[in-house]
Amino acid sequence: MSAAVGLDARLTDDHHESLRLWLRLLTCSNLIENHVRKALAAQFKTTLPRFDLMAQLERAPQGLQMGELSRRLLVTGGNVTGIVDQLERAGLLLRAEDPADRRAYLVKLTKEGRRQFAQMASAHESWIVKLFSGLSVREQRALNESLSSLRAQLTRKTP
């Protein structure tokens, strides 16, 4: 795998065990994310940033202001306005006046957007289930516990 080869280059033998752990975590994350990107392209001709944006809107049926949407998508990067424009042209979302703030507008999924997102989310779940299916229930549980603990640590340490 080129991903694994590439990332291992950050490592030399005498580096600390934490570094080895981080590169292993990053490699797993990248392998899964690359798989999801390819599957979204192949099966739905869409991208991960579009999928993530639609996921945010699906969870906010009342709609989101652009600023809030950008804030929630911060971690995936991507040009939020550009993606909103594309999805609006495709009829998957719409802009509506915000009844609570006449200077702003809200972005929401259309009915067709919700329908398409439901199909993608279901496929996405099945890809992930398949990717993790080689781990036993015991292994999945152990990994889940370790990651919960790590996440708790990270959210305390990261500003």
Applying CB under 8 A, does 119 fall inside the site for a second copy? no
Residue of 13, 18, 45, 102 that binds a second copy (CB under 8 A): 18
Tell me the C-alpha distance between 148 and 150, whole Å. Answer: 5
Applying CB under 8 A, does 41 fall inside the site for a second copy? no
Q: Which stretch binds a second copy (CB under 8 A): 80-88, 89-97, 106-114, 133-141?
A: 133-141
Q: How far does CA 39 lie from the centroid of its chain?
A: 14
Applying CB under 8 A, does 62 fall inside the site for a second copy? no
Enclosing H/E stretch for 13: none
Q: Which stretch binds a second copy (CB under 8 A): 28-36, 79-87, 88-96, 99-107?
A: 28-36
Applying CB under 8 A, does 13 fall inside the site for a second copy? no
Long-range contacts of 22-28 (CB under 8 A, 24+ apart): 27/3
Give the closest residue to 55 by CA, choosing from 97, 93, 99: 93
